[in-house]
Chain A
């Protein structure tokens, strides 16, 4: 069994570790390139959302590299993500690939189904080993998120352009070497030291921008055209509202136990939108309000083209921006997006924010 999975930011580090620890052979899809996107776009439905196309490209490239077991998550709607796996499976079948697809559905009160799915890939492991592997991967996800958040604070203040990105890459490599929960903690400390040793000008005045929007587009740097890095190197401190560890905590743990999660964000959104709309639409509105209250200079909203939940948010955000007094820029991205146009719009937005801050 040669396992593979779609890319999502630094997730491949955590998942490669997890499946290796479970004694499986892993073939991670090659890094996302133009070719991945072309393959995805060629075979995916025309106006399916961008994440479906990219992950389909990942699967095709991994299958070509010899993988035979695809791991994907499911969902219960109303966001389209919940039906990705089914559609991708049929497309890949029509393309003539021979593979097995393992889809992890949210438990919805029936834990045994999920446990059975897990058992299918952990046949030759003791329960202790499985639990330890899960513990390790959870710590890894949290560690990766911490390193990422720190890199966003350091990058705008670095003295030498690119130093933070280099240190961040090294720290990711450190995490991938860890195979026990304790080792992850040790490696995280080392990674943090690496990041903190980047030469910085801490007196520098920087703009602060919050990123909101759809989770895949926020987490996958190739999909959002390296937005965080670009902004950081322009001297903007970015905070991302969505992290994978928060998502897992809210959706896989709290919601399964019927606890509501993300209450602060939902309360902040209430005057504008007091109902879930699938995906991250509700959070996008709430987080924008919260960034305004925390005195951020602006908000950038990222969505894949035709994403229904985010279109609801996009319809509401102009009003939020006006009433809360925070500039908001929405980017709807897909395979058609040109990098130069994207950069120009970003620069114009930053200039505008810098101008307002200077006047005040």
Chain B
């Protein structure tokens, strides 16, 4: 029987799932995803987490419970410290395996490889080889698996650049048709924006209103970097950098008519980056901004009202 590796459909799933899947598949393991987010999954996470943890981490714990109940052999829970030079992920990713281990009882063994490109590049690579060796002892197999992961990731990122959101690609839906002529940027952590349950389907709702969506994932890294270069001091969180870079890029290009910021309540990095983006937009006075804060209490009706009001306002501005 094949070894099963569980991957929670939360947090970095939206960034790296194709690579992870390819990696474990080519090592002969079976990859099991947790179910799409439901109220029960979120409630399970909220119940286990420390109360002031942010929504996406609570959701992650809920997905771990879901995987545990599916009876997988292992759960892949990497410690992703840094994925590029001089930048970190949010502190919660640094302690994520511990949060999982100490908050969720009776978990199967966690596969926790440390990804730390900034400080420990070599150890990251050897850690990946050690992880692969647990499935197949032949080193060339590990090399193949890593290459497969890299290729899958490149292919995934290429599709994102074509104007699809991570959810469009990962759910296999693809882009049905080009929507509307009004371009609105939706910026926020991919794991908040793309989970249709916790974001209350914000993308789908906007598309149904005839809005074309752009996100930071659709931009090339040069565009993000030129945007972020306007800052005196670069942002040291990878996702904060992405959000800020995309925000400033759109502000400079003036090709969008509105900006929607999606943040989870209590998100540390977003409390500062969203604030700055908002201030920069306010100073230019040319593109309206809507800030949507998500938590487990978010009511759908309230969000719909706010989105409709925002889109109406954008249409009037255009008409005038």
Instruction: Give the B-binding residues of A (Cβ under 8 A).
Output: 45-49, 74, 76-80, 82-84, 86-87, 90-91, 94, 103, 105, 272-273, 275-279, 281, 305-309, 311-316, 318-319, 332
Contact = CB atoms under 8 A, between A and B. Distances in A.
Interface string B1-14: 00000000000000
A275 B79 contact: yes
A90 B276 contact: yes
Interface in B53-100: 53, 79, 81, 86-92, 94-95, 98-99
Given A276-B94, A315-B99, A45 B232 contact: no
Contact of B279 (A84, A90, A103, A273): A90
Interface of B: 49-50, 52-53, 79, 81, 86-92, 94-95, 98-99, 102-103, 114, 231-233, 235-237, 265-269, 271-272, 274-276, 279, 283
B275 A45 contact: yes
Contact of B236 (A82, A275, A276): A82
Contact of A319 (B49, B102, B266): B102
Nearest to B264: A47
B102 A278 contact: no
A307 B276 CA distance: 19
Nearest to B51: A332
B231 A309 contact: no
A308 B90 contact: yes
A315 B49 contact: yes
A76 B233 contact: no
Nearest to B291: A46
B95 A281 contact: yes
Contact of A312 (B87, B92, B235, B271): B92
A77 to B, nearest CB: 3
A47 B267 contact: yes
Contacts of A278: 88, 91, 94
Contact of B99 (A83, A91, A312): A312
Contacts of B98: 272-273, 275, 312, 315-316
A97 to B, nearest CB: 15
B94 A45 contact: no
B233 A86 contact: yes
B279 A94 contact: yes
A312 B283 CA distance: 36
6 contacts: A49-B271, A78-B237, A275-B98, A276-B94, A277-B94, A278-B91
A80 B81 CA distance: 15
A74 B50 CA distance: 29
A45 B266 CA distance: 11
B88 A78 contact: yes
Chain B interface, >50% SS class: mixed
B56 to A, nearest CB: 12
Contact of A315 (B53, B231, B269, B272): B53
Contacts of A91: 275, 279
Contacts of B90: 78, 308
Contacts of B53: 311, 315
B91 A309 contact: yes
Contact of A83 (B49, B103, B233): B233
A282 to B, nearest CB: 9
A216 to B, nearest CB: 14
A76 B234 CA distance: 10
A257 to B, nearest CB: 16
A336 to B, nearest CB: 12
A306 B276 contact: no
Given A76-B236, A319-B102, A47 B114 contact: no
B233 to A, nearest CB: 5
A46 B275 CA distance: 9
B95 A273 contact: yes
A90 B275 CA distance: 10
Contacts of B94: 78, 275-278, 312
Nearest to A48: B271
Contact of A311 (B50, B237, B276, B283): B50
A230 to B, nearest CB: 23
B52 A311 contact: yes
A316 B272 CA distance: 26
Nearest to B87: A77
A36 B233 CA distance: 27
Given A83-B235, A306-B52, A312-B94, A46 B271 contact: yes
B268 A80 contact: yes
Contacts of A82: 236
B298 to A, nearest CB: 15
A45 B89 contact: no
Contacts of B283: 94
A226 B220 CA distance: 51
Contacts of A306: 52, 266, 268, 271
Contacts of A76: 86, 236
Contacts of B99: 312, 315-316
B275 A87 contact: yes
Contacts of B265: 47
B95 A77 contact: no
A309 B268 CA distance: 10
A104 B272 CA distance: 19
A76 B232 CA distance: 14
B95 to A, nearest CB: 3
A77 B271 contact: no
A311 B271 contact: no
